[in-house]
A = this chain, B = another copy of it.
Amino acid sequence: MARTYQLEQIKQVVDKLDVAKYIEDGFIAYSQGRVVVPPVGEMIFEKPPGDVHIKYGYIKDDDYFAIKIASGFYENYKIDLPTSDGLILLFSQRDGFLASILLDECYLTNVRTAVAGQIVAKFMAPSKIECIGVFGTGVQGRMQVKYLKPVVDCSDIMAWGRSRDSLDTYKRDMEKLGYTIRTTTDAGEVTQKCRLIITATPSQTPLIDAGQIKPGTHITAMGSDTHLKQELDPKILQSADVVVADSIEQCLTRGEISKTLQAGLINKEDLIELGEVIAGHQSGRTSDAQITVADLTGVAVQDIQIAKAVHEALLQSDFADE
């Protein structure tokens, strides 16, 4: 019988899990064409304004399939509630039966997004990082940094934000976790100091110009996941030595790559897919002097894989308890 797990139970097992291994395997399966992802289901509400998305899919010949539901109701702050709620349902591919209800309140989406950043850094960051640059002071501006720990030996962060208040809060919160935080509202200061840069904002206009990028820099652009959002000057991707997409198909219509393709500054053939890099069929970074960019728009296989990892770990801990 399917079990229901609350956020606190989920957080406990996630912290002990090698999520990256699952997500890496997911990206490889995706790049091999073994992942089935039907079109996203959507409901739009007007009073109050909100939207609901249903994302679902599976890896062929795998044990499970997953259905993720996430809501965003943008006036929830008026009634002291978070904007988003969400859950992931995991079912068996052997019999269609429900296996787990993960009431993760969108937490697993945040983790799988941050883990993708970790994987990218592992394959694409230059060998020596003295300062990590972070654009954005929200959930991903924090989680991306935390999840870099296993692969990047650096706790010096330079955070960029538009608002002094958010930067101060970010600094205070992150210093409690042991990071050394400098803050700035000047993008040039980040590109000057940092050879590993994460962009994690909802910006719709470029935050960084091509002229600001130093040789030997890697940028993981994960804020833009729609056709409207954009964080990088398209010329950055044009001049980069390597441009990696989490999903080439998806990046044709959303994220930084779509903007650069539209501007005619790169070709689809110039793109490398993350799963190909992880599998070793394509190179990520080959020298510390290269400029590299990874564009992460979020792929359903990440949800499938993290749900599977968490389900299996919860099942084991249930058995241990019984």
Contacts and interface: CB of A to CB of B under 8 A. Distances in A.
B54 A103 contact: no
Interface in A46-88: 47-48, 50, 52, 54, 56-58, 61, 65, 67, 69, 71-73, 76, 79, 81, 84-85, 87
A314 to B, nearest CB: 15
A250 to B, nearest CB: 18
Contacts of A17: none
A38 interface: yes
Contacts of A36: 43
A240 interface: no
Given A41-B54, A84-B96, A89 B103 contact: no
A42 B52 contact: no
Contact of A94 (B48, B72, B93): B48
Nearest to A70: B96
B65 A43 contact: yes
Given A41-B38, A43-B36, A47-B61, A76 B95 contact: yes
Nearest to A87: B98
Contacts of A38: 41-43
A45 B93 contact: yes
Nearest to A44: B36
A58 B43 CA distance: 9
Interface in A71-129: 71-73, 76, 79, 81, 84-85, 87, 89, 91, 93-98, 101, 103
A31 to B, nearest CB: 21
Contacts of A91: 52, 71, 85
A265 interface: no
A4 interface: yes
A2 interface: yes
A56 B67 CA distance: 13
Contacts of A61: 47
A96 B67 contact: no
7 contacts: A43-B57, A48-B94, A52-B65, A76-B95, A81-B97, A84-B96, A85-B96
The 7 closest A-B pairs by CB, nearest first: A71-B96, A73-B96, A4-B4, A85-B97, A41-B41, A50-B96, A73-B95
